[in-house]
Amino acid sequence: MSLKSSLCPFCSKPKTFIAENRQWAIHLAGHREQIIQYIVENLPSCVLCSYPTHFNEKSTAAAHIRWNHKRKELIIWAFQNLDTIIGKQLLDVPDGSNILFCK
């Protein structure tokens, strides 16, 4: 089991958050709207479509993601891209460390 330590970039008051992958996924599931906002604000096209779908307007971009992609797809994408979203690498934490949750 590997633990990842990082700030959760989607919490309104970021706290350091250490968890195993599954717990990160559960936590990120609560941030669906924030993840959609992140993609809309920071990326020129839909990262979840197999062929990049360019966004013409932010309002339609958010609707596109909301209606065309499952929550699970968003969570997996966010988890795999946490390093990029946060701007630094996630740290692996030795087993036995205290597990902290930001919620």
11 part of the interface to Zn ion, by CB under 5 A: yes
Q: Count of alpha carbons within 13 Å of 63, Cβ hemisphere only?
A: 5
Residue 20: CB minimum distance to Zn ion, A:
15
- 35 vs 8, 25, 40, 79, 80, CA distance in Å? 11, 12, 9, 10, 12
46 part of the interface to Zn ion, by CB under 5 A: yes
85 part of the interface to Zn ion, by CB under 5 A: no
Residue 69: CB minimum distance to Zn ion, A:
6
Residues that bind Zn ion (CB under 5 A): 8, 10-11, 46, 48-49, 53
